[in-house]
Homo-oligomer: A and B are copies of this chain.
Amino acid sequence: MDFSYSDKVKGLQQRVSDFMGKVVYPNESVYRSQLLESKNGRFSRVPPVMEEMKQQAKQAGLWNLFLPDSNYGAGLSNLEYAPLCEVMGRSLIAPEVFNCNAPDTGNMELLARYGTQEQKQQWLMPLLNGEIRSSFCMTEPDVASSDATNIESEIIHDGDEYIISGTKWWSSGAGDPRCKLLIFMGKTDPDAEKHRQQSMILVPIETTGIKIQRMLPVFGYDDAPHGHAEITFDHVRVPKDNLMVGEGEGFAIAQGRLGPGRIHHCMRMIGAAERALEIMCKRVESRVAFGMPLSKQGVIREWIADSRIEIEQARLLVLKAADMMDKVGNKQARKEIAMIKVVAPNMALKVIDRAIQAMGAAGVSEDFPLASLYAGIRTLRIADGPDEVHRQSVAKLELKEQAKKF
């Protein structure tokens, strides 16, 4: 047991942090300004500064760090990637700069692991190069998606094709003008055993029958140009070969996809919380109320202490989960993954909320990234399984382990 980062990790951590300081933070406001200038609406183009930053990151060798497979990515373990991903989580625009942003990361992992050579050539390579983007179409408006077996969309076999129908929403990234690929989850066989009904299929976004109905706001934010789309699929036809792995494999693939996706989110939320704490600490030194800087007031100090305490604990649990995923695999680590999926967003929301409170009204505005971080992270108590579902999983596994002792 050892709680120090390896030298390799410390080196990468330094490089990512330096890059953030030199390139990313100063361009946060540039990105926002460029977004406002888009003439044909906020989803019509990507702020040019993004592509510039991506080139710089690529040149700096800070690219695709997320991918454990060293044929395609940096070949880092989860434990090595975690502290880097954390740093990226400090800025809402950073993950894309390093080509490490959801849902593309999860989609790239899927393609790397389950894709055919043709699928890799067509979709994985441009995604790895940051040339195109992708979306993951799983959640549906009419059912509780926390229970994946509720899915109602259909993927019907018809000769050399599959015909896809259904409505999806919260398809994040589908608003991006560069988005070319949708990975779609639906039922190929509603009569099969509960976890064998679903399949996953690759759908080019321009296919006939696909319509983006609207971009869903998150606490008033449209998250342009990325966005969260509601999409209707009306008898959309794609070639048979677009099906991933085989019919009935959808649930299993999704489970595999969610593990790393969840931990990446958690890593980023540690970073977001650190950023919030940093902003809070800076602010309270400079503001005076009732004759004292806020930083000398006991209540404010409690907020700082509790924030530090909660961040430290959450980080350690995320790192431990990463270590377990590396050592015993995602399945054996599922209790730890469920735990961090509960811990990280709740922790980050608490820290950010305290920072907002310490900032006064500025905290809820656009002058600081706090409110937008809050909104984004609030969705992560729901997405990829809500808190309450993960808590039930943890309890079930705990009860099972305890029962062995009796």
Which partner residue on chain B sits nearest A359 by CB separation?
B382
Question: Would A306 and B391 be within 8 Å (CB), given that A220-B221, A287-B144, A323-B3 are in contact?
Answer: yes
The yes or no answer to A151 lying at the interface (CB within 8 A) is: no
Q: With a CB–CB cut-off of 8 A, which chain B residues contact A220? A: 217-222, 371-372, 375
Q: Is B392 in contact with A379, judged by CB distance below 8 angstroms?
A: no
Q: Is B382 in contact with A360, judged by CB distance below 8 angstroms?
A: yes
Q: Which of B290, B324, B335, B374 contacts A147 (CB 8 A)?
A: B290
Question: Would A343 and B301 be within 8 Å (CB), given that A1-B5, A146-B289, A220-B221 are in contact?
Answer: no
List residues of chain A with CB under 8 Å of any chain B CB. Answer: 1-6, 9, 79, 139, 141, 143-147, 150, 169-170, 216-222, 277-278, 281-282, 284-285, 287-290, 294-295, 297-302, 304-306, 308-309, 312-314, 316-317, 319-320, 323-324, 327, 335-336, 339, 342-343, 356-357, 360-366, 371-372, 374-375, 378-379, 381-383, 386-396, 398-399, 402-403, 405-406
Q: Is B1 in contact with A3, judged by CB distance below 8 angstroms?
A: yes
Closest 3 A-B residue pairs measured CB to CB? Answer: A220-B220, A220-B221, A298-B298
A390–B388 Cα gap in the complex (Å)? 21
Which partner residue on chain B sits nearest A308 by CB separation?
B398
Q: With a CB–CB cut-off of 8 A, which chain B residues contact A389? A: 289
Give A76 Cβ to nearest chain B Cβ, in Å. 13
Q: Is B288 in contact with A144, judged by CB distance below 8 angstroms?
A: yes
A313–B339 Cα gap in the complex (Å)? 10
A383–B290 Cα gap in the complex (Å)? 17
Question: Would A299 and B375 be within 8 Å (CB), given that A3-B320, A218-B364 are in contact?
Answer: no
Provide 17 A-B residue pairs closer than 8 Å at the C-beta atoms, listed in order of the A residue. A1-B9, A216-B361, A216-B365, A218-B364, A219-B220, A277-B398, A298-B299, A299-B302, A300-B388, A301-B391, A301-B399, A305-B339, A305-B395, A306-B391, A312-B336, A313-B343, A361-B383
Report copies per complex: 4
Q: Which of B361, B375, B383 contacts A382 (CB 8 A)?
A: B361
Which partner residue on chain B sits nearest A403 by CB separation?
B285
Which of A219, A327, A383, A402 has the largest count of B CB atoms less than 10 A from its CB?
A219
Give A87 Cβ to nearest chain B Cβ, in Å. 14
Question: Would A388 and B302 be within 8 Å (CB), given that A281-B398, A366-B216 are in contact?
Answer: yes
Question: Would A361 and B339 be within 8 Å (CB), given that A220-B371, A222-B220, A316-B313 are in contact?
Answer: no
Give A103 Cβ to nearest chain B Cβ, in Å. 14
Q: Is B371 in contact with A357, judged by CB distance below 8 angstroms?
A: no
Q: Which of B147, B278, B365 contacts A289 (CB 8 A)?
A: B147
Q: Which of B287, B317, B342 contacts A316 (CB 8 A)?
A: B317
Q: Which of B295, B327, B383, B396 contacts A301 (CB 8 A)?
A: B396
Q: With a CB–CB cut-off of 8 A, which chain B residues contact A316? A: 313, 316-317, 320
A399–B305 Cα gap in the complex (Å)? 9
Q: With a CB–CB cut-off of 8 A, which chain B residues contact A357? A: 381-382, 386-388
Q: Is A395 in contact with B301, judged by CB distance below 8 angstroms?
A: yes
Q: With a CB–CB cut-off of 8 A, which chain B residues contact A312? A: 317, 320, 336, 339
Give A71 Cβ to nearest chain B Cβ, in Å. 25
Q: With a CB–CB cut-off of 8 A, which chain B residues contact A306? A: 391
Which partner residue on chain B sits nearest A297 by CB separation?
B298
Give A323 Cβ to nearest chain B Cβ, in Å. 4
Give A393 Cβ to nearest chain B Cβ, in Å. 8
Question: Would A342 and B309 be within 8 Å (CB), given that A357-B386, A360-B382, A365-B218 are in contact?
Answer: yes
